[in-house]
């Protein structure tokens, strides 16, 4: 009986000490947040604003190695998308949540030219497939892969919820 009391006392002491609470970790964002992220996008023809493909593609926006707040990468790796694959460095203004390229730049993914214009992020401006409110992204795109063709890209930030996966 004495061994049981000592065992129970040890369990209580262990339980009290194991309930130590820690402070929440400080989350550090990149200098281009909230422009940076993973996005589910769809590609539209820019002129009549019609959907070119029912497929959804994953696009990434992220900071440069220099970690500055005035420029970022825009990357779409799917060459099967109507606008093709591209990776380009764009200028951005984080405060206004806008980004663009003033002139065509070399597309580092395909070694052709690409121009991004009127890019913007609207916080809580979109809905995912599952109905979750998420940040929305939109931009215009002209690429040398499809000469004379301009595209509009629209999408929402990846939420991480299984029901929002396209």
Q: State phi, psi for 107 to the nearest 5 degrees.
A: -75, 110
- The rounded mean pLDDT for the chain is 84
- In whole angstroms, give the CA distance from residue 79 to residue 23: 44
pLDDT at 66 over 80: yes
Per-residue pLDDT band for 20 (boundaries 50, 70, 90) equals: low
- In whole angstroms, give the CA distance from residue 109 to residue 164: 28
Strand stretches in 1-149, DSSP E: 37-45, 50-51, 57-63, 71-76, 86-93, 98-100, 105-106, 113-127, 133-143
Query: For residue 133, what pLDDT is reported?
Result: 92
Query: For residue 138, what pLDDT is reported?
Result: 94
Number of other CB atoms surrounding residue 105 within 10 Å? 14
Domains of the chain, earliest start first: 37-159 (2.40.128.220)
Query: For residue 157, what pLDDT is reported?
Result: 93
| Interval 84-132: pLDDT, tens | 888 888 999 999 999 998 666 666 666 677 888 899 999 999 998 888 8
Question: For 45-54, 119-128, 149-158, which range has the lowest pLDDT when averaged over its residues?
Answer: 45-54
Per-residue pLDDT band for 61 (boundaries 50, 70, 90) equals: very high
């Amino acid at each position: 009986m004495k061994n049981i009391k000592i065992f129970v006392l040890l369990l209580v002491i262990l339980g009290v000490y194991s309930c130590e609470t820690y402070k929440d970790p400080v989350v550090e964002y990149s200098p281009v947040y909230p422009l940076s992220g993973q996005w589910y996008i769809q590609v539209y023809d820019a002129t009549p604003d019609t959907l070119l493909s029912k497929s959804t593609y994953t696009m990434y926006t992220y900071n440069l190695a220099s970690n500055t707040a005035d420029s970022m990468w825009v990357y779409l790796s799917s060459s099967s998308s109507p606008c093709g694959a591209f990776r380009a460095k764009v200028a951005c203004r984080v405060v206004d949540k806008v980004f663009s390229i003033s002139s065509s730049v070399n597309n580092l993914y395909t070694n052709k030219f690409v121009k991004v214009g009127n890019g913007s992020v609207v916080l809580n401006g979109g809905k995912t497939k599952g109905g979750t409110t998420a940040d929305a992204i939109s931009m215009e795109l002209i690429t040398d892969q499809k000469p004379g063709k301009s595209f509009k890209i629209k999408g929402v930030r990846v939420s991480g919820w299984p029901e929002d996966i396209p």
